[in-house]
A and B are shown apart, each in its own frame.
Chain A
Amino acid sequence: KAGVTQTPRYLIKTRGQQVTLSCSPISGHRSVSWYQQTPGQGLQFLFEYFSETQRNKGNFPGRFSGRQFSNSRSEMNVSTLELGDSALYLCASKKFVGGTNEKLFFGSGTQLSVL
């Protein structure tokens, strides 16, 4: 069974550009969430999608957005990139929304560097 797949693995962008990251959840998983991981701030929740609807959003500026498609695949977009956006962006999926006993599976992430 394939795990959570994130593409690309690495990205280098310059300030002011925008970027789109992609996530394919485990087959059958309908809930997808995104996290940002940095050495300074650690792991921080960005947003969560279920059935193409955003259910929760973390404390990030509006430059960070996402969406989910009917096949549960998800994308996140960061516009007007800033140096501080350099981070590992992790996608996670689980079978159902809610039911916190459900196991959350993380992908290996997309390492974004903003120059």
Chain B
Amino acid sequence: QQQVKQSPQSLIVQKGGISIINCAYENTAFDYFPWYQQFPGKGPALLIAIRPDVSEKKEGRFTISFNKSAKQFSLHIMDSQPGDSATYFCAASRGNNAGNMLTFGGGTRLMVKP
């Protein structure tokens, strides 16, 4: 059972463009939604995260938009750069007792063309 669905699976964007990756979740108990970036040969690295009490969070060129009623959240990468080419994962977890138990989306392979 896939509790976090991510789309698209792959994305090609021109340098300077906006990259948008979407995720939808099923479990309404989820209350923490991070995005991870993974380069080949490396482990995932936390990019940005949001809690459901806010609808948007921005850090530099990265923005999370969160729609609690639709159970959806998305990552926007503004002014996309070739160095942003990587695989992006959305994730979700619930409550303090869940600790590090993240449920990940299937991943989006982003390519930013120069």
A residues with CB within 8 A of B:
4, 31, 33, 35, 42-45, 48, 50, 55-56, 58, 90, 92, 94, 97-101, 103-109
A33–B89 Cα distance when bound, in Å, is 17
Q: How far is the CB of A102 from chain B (nearest CB, A)?
A: 9
B residues with CB within 8 A of A:
31-32, 34, 36, 41-46, 49, 51, 89, 91, 93, 95-107
Since A4-B43, A103-B46, A109-B43 are in contact, a sample of 5 more A-B pairs with Cβ atoms closer than 8 Å, ordered by chain A residue number, is: A45-B102, A48-B99, A97-B99, A105-B46, A106-B44
A40–B44 Cα distance when bound, in Å, is 17
Known: A42-B104, A42-B105, A42-B106. Is A50-B43 also a contact (CB below 8 A)?
no
Question: Are A98 and B97 interface neighbours, CB within 8 A?
Answer: yes
Q: Which residue of B lies closest to A40 (CB)?
A: B106
Question: Are A104 and B46 interface neighbours, CB within 8 A?
Answer: yes
7 nearest A-B pairs in the assembled complex, by CB-CB distance: A106-B43, A98-B96, A33-B100, A43-B104, A100-B32, A56-B101, A42-B106
Known: A42-B106, A90-B43, A107-B43. Is A33-B101 also a contact (CB below 8 A)?
yes
Q: Which residue of A lies closest to B1 (CB)?
A: A59
